[in-house]
Amino acid sequence: MTKVLINWTDKYSVDYDVIDNQHKELVGMINNLYASFTEGKADEIVEDILKEMIKYTDYHFKMEEKYFDKYNYSDTKLHKEQHNDFIVKVTSFYREFNNGSVTITYDIMNFLREWLLTHIQGSDKKYVAEFKNKNVNIV
């Protein structure tokens, strides 16, 4: 049985399928990293997972931010800063791992887990509430 760090439940849903599906992709990446870590194989796949996470979060964040700009989301500046901070942090993990100065630890996985879940349940649900009031359809 594969171990998971995050069990997706409806409490993480933002009620936009396209965004929920993208969030599930990120959860899957974190869970793959965690499963490999618990099996002692994280070093074999961590570079690929972190590289994919950087690429995918950039794609996901740009999609969200396109809607922020289009619909004048009131907290755009802070939300974009949070996105940028995450990419900087994950890129730093990636560089440090490649330089041999860091190994994948529970601290890194917990950072990824906590950031994603806190961000979805906090920042993302804020823009969703505003978009629902504006009848914004995200596809």
- 120 belongs to a structural domain: yes
- Residue 49 pLDDT exceeds 80: yes
- 9 belongs to a structural domain: no
- 7 belongs to a structural domain: no
pTM, to two decimals = 0.91
> Mean pLDDT over residues 27-40, rounded?
89
- 5 belongs to a structural domain: no
Question: Between 139 and 59, where is the model more confident?
Answer: 59
Using CA atoms, how far apart are residues 63 and 66, in angstroms rounded to an integer? 5
- Residue 24 pLDDT exceeds 90: yes
Those residues with Cβ within 8 angstroms of residue 121's Cβ, 6 or more apart along the chain or in another chain: 11, 12
Is 85 within 8 Å of 57 (Cβ atoms)? no
Instruction: Say how many C-beta atoms besides its own lie within 10 A of residue 86's C-beta.
Output: 19
- 2 belongs to a structural domain: no
CATH of the domain at 69: 1.20.120.50
Q: What's the farthest any 2 CA atoms get from each other in the chain?
A: 49
pLDDT 10s digits, 98-115: 888 766 677 788 899 999
Report the domain count for the chain: 1
pLDDT 10s digits, 77-100: 999 999 999 999 999 988 888 888
> Mean pLDDT over residues 15-31, rounded?
95
> Mean pLDDT over residues 10-19, rounded?
95
- 84 belongs to a structural domain: yes
- 96 belongs to a structural domain: yes
Domain that residue 110 falls in? 15-133
- 10 belongs to a structural domain: no
